[in-house]
Structure 1
């Protein structure tokens, strides 16, 4: 079986405090961090044992995972397993980057977000250059807020040309055509993020070849649909895997709508769906109008 899993354990602490971030934030006590460590090790151990399947994993923590040694260790170890097609994580890149060299760079990938005001620009850019020098797979992005525009332009100018710079529409923000055009100059695919996508009743890969898993092993079709499909560790989820339409009115998050079959994003991001890396030079791509 080929299966893509989005894993989100109990970790919710982050070293940044972005005012636009929709994620929960807290400072975890040592017992809570030990709980996250145990949950991650259990999941990584399960993934390592599934040698009869082909797995692709995206870690999407509520907080920042890579400042925790157990996330770095799990990514490196999983990247070397032959039945793992991709092992990726969303990160603010505040951690050091030297650990990446120990991973299989054909399997590991990073989805990196730059947060102006939370880290010095040069520090973030230097880490991106370190990753590029190692030959790591990574994308870089920003949230499309007016205060971020000039630094986003600077990033696009100074990042290696082959690194895709994506722009996320800010949650709840409406972009008129002129404003959208400014962001589209930086990210030709911004149109996919600009508006929520109508999804009710439309076919989606989630629940069939894509699922989400929490720290207890509860399997759902995606992070945004609460219906449970079973548990990862007792195998009960497998009987529930089948094509099914989306039950929600709209989908407005990239890690959700990228899996809609009504959108061409599996072709756009061929080979890089989880890490948000297009399969062709992004300069040749444009978003299909919603």
Structure 2
């Protein structure tokens, strides 16, 4: 593929340390060594340099670190710098929001966005809510959500009640926990789009935007169609990936992660999340007539 293009890049470097110890996460309280942190910083700075240089393309970038990125200065700086570049349409990151928020004063609120997750038991509720309200004051685009374990329901209801109505509260179905219909209905009351998350989506042989207009990149620059398909498409830094970009069907049986199935062409989620696919912010009500399966009418 030659010429200019619109490309969405999901970047995941070697960082795998996190300041939380959620029982459902394999990266809980993991610590990277100084050497590992230096390697992650170097990889991120290389990627940021590449992104900054792609002035002939229109880029959207979502950082999906295994660990928590925003407690590291190099992630805050990268998001801030990329947010000001005219060819960057959106730059976003998944975060537990444990970081300070004053750095956002330097970022472009037109381009930067945050995908925030609240983990009950890992941070005081009032502290987390306070940071969310600070994001509102700063006019930062953000969504916030929880993993839908039954024991999180009351905290999630409290959060929904305390957040401004325009802030989307999403719910992820918990891995390894089968929800009853009553439990699912309770979560759907909070997040009308929860039915999309409740069950994995059949994807085998179905068309997906990954590998064509969406790619995944690791710290070495290896390009894959998405985080869940290991086949390599080339390397970001030598440009070899570009000739591999084309429409292709999903080789996996199912897709059960939002950052994957949101790109399935058989689902209406590019309309549902129009303008906010990366940061998981739905289009304003009335912007799409599509409803998720099983959603209230």
TM-score normalised to the size of structure 1?
A: 0.97
In structure 2, C-alpha distance between the alignment counterparts of 1:145 and 1:175, rounded to whole Å: 9
Cα deviation digits, residues 115-172 of structure 1 (max 9, x gap): 0010000000000000000100000000000110100000000001100000000012
Which residue number in structure 1 is paired with residue 233 of structure 2? 229
Describe the shift of the 1:248–1:205 C-alpha distance in structure 2 as closer, same or farther (beyond 3 A).
same
Which residue number in structure 2 is paired with residue 288 of structure 1? 293
In structure 2, C-alpha distance between the alignment counterparts of 1:24 and 1:186, rounded to whole Å: 27
Q: Please say if 1:207 is aligned against 2:211.
A: yes
Gaps of 5+ in 2: none
Gaps of 5+ in 1: none
Which residue number in structure 1 is paired with residue 190 of structure 2? 186
Which residue number in structure 1 is paired with residue 76 of structure 2? 72
Which residue number in structure 2 is paired with residue 156 of structure 1? 160
Bigger mean CA offset, 16-25 vs 204-213 = 16-25
TM-score normalised to the size of structure 2?
A: 0.95
Q: Which residue, 3, 28, 33 being the options, matches 2:32?
A: 28
Q: Please say if 1:107 is aligned against 2:145.
A: no
The alpha-carbon deviation at position 23 of structure 1 amounts to 4.5
Q: Please say if 1:145 is aligned against 2:149.
A: yes
In structure 2, C-alpha distance between the alignment counterparts of 1:90 and 1:13, rounded to whole Å: 14
Q: Secondary structure at the match of 1:89?
A: strand
CA RMSD for the aligned pairs?
Answer: 1.5
The alpha-carbon deviation at position 288 of structure 1 amounts to 2.5
Q: Secondary structure at the match of 1:48?
A: helix
In structure 1, C-alpha distance between the alignment counterparts of 2:251 and 2:29, rounded to whole Å: 28
Q: Please say if 1:255 is aligned against 2:235.
A: no
The alpha-carbon deviation at position 287 of structure 1 amounts to 1.7
Q: Secondary structure at the match of 1:123?
A: helix
Question: Are the aligned partners of 1:25 and 1:62 in contact in 2 as well (CA < 8 Å)?
Answer: no
Which residue number in structure 1 is paired with residue 96 of structure 2? 92
Q: Please say if 1:130 is aligned against 2:137.
A: no
In structure 1, C-alpha distance between the alignment counterparts of 2:6 and 2:21, rounded to whole Å: 37
Q: Number of paired residues?
A: 290
Deviation beyond 3 Å, 4+ runs, structure 1: 22-25, 281-286
